Amino acid sequence: MYRNFFKRLLDIIASFILLVFLLFPFMIIGIIIRAKLGGPVFFKQRRPGKNNRIFHMYKFRTMTNERDENGNLLPDKDRLTKLGKFLRKSSIDELPQIINILIGDMSFIGPRPKLIKDVIFMKNDECLIRQAVRPGISGWAQIHGRNESTWYQVLERDIYYVKHVSFFLDVKIFFKTIGVILSQKGINTPGAATHFLYADVLLNDKKITKEEHKRLNAEAIEIEKDLNKVYVFGNKTKFSKDQLKKEPKIKKDKS
């Protein structure tokens, strides 16, 4: 009952109240970003959500659009400004996702929405379980290492959350998230400005071939062009939309 009804009801009420109270701070933050980084103020990106339906995830912009002489964007670390670092450390850049929560794309608590080019490399069992709930602003993985965790640890913790989702677990994650934000630990992946791509990790660990890496990355680019469609990422097993809409029945671990 909580997972399918009350969780969504709480999300709607809380996100509406927060948006009302944060309207003025949003305007101030937007003015600062516009002055320091230029437009647009918001960064939006297509991400796979519940049941693999793709949506636009919103964040405050933290990087410039600087490009090299060939017109290619500079590496993330070169485009991340002091303002952007502050917005990330304080997690202020995540606040526009409250809009995603209100319209039903996301929840306050759930697995973080990953890139299409990350999800496409997940195995079917990992993907269908992980994507069975709405993605969240914070989740079980975020209070256990955040970006310092390996990809394998993040996936394991995301699946753990889906198997054990409850009101009390969400409350626990919510309060621990406040502590994580205040401590500012695990914001960046060691040695990188942003988290490594799952595809690159798998390739480096020799779990996929270079051919698979190239083929699936190409498919991810094609998927990004088709908004509001349902996909099964991983291998090419076909599922109907009705099957995807049904959340898998998951037994709780005894441990």
Task: Please give the pLDDT value at position 187.
Answer: 57
- Asked whether residue 251 is domain-assigned, the answer is no
- Asked whether residue 171 is domain-assigned, the answer is yes
Q: Which domain holds residue 194?
A: 2-245
- Asked whether residue 252 is domain-assigned, the answer is no
- Asked whether residue 76 is domain-assigned, the answer is yes
- Asked whether residue 255 is domain-assigned, the answer is no
CA distance 67 to 252: 49
- Asked whether residue 160 is domain-assigned, the answer is yes
- Asked whether residue 166 is domain-assigned, the answer is yes
pTM of the model: 0.82
Domain count, the chain: 1
Task: Please give the pLDDT value at position 185.
Answer: 66
Task: Please give the pLDDT value at position 208.
Answer: 93
Task: Please give the pLDDT value at position 171.
Answer: 96
Q: pLDDT in tens for each of the 255 residues of the chain?
A: 898 899 999 999 999 999 999 999 999 999 999 998 888 999 999 899 998 888 899 999 999 888 887 878 788 788 888 999 899 888 899 999 999 999 999 999 999 999 998 998 988 778 888 999 999 999 999 999 877 889 999 999 999 999 999 999 999 999 999 998 888 665 555 544 456 899 999 999 999 999 999 998 998 888 877 765 666 555 444 334 444 444 434 344 443
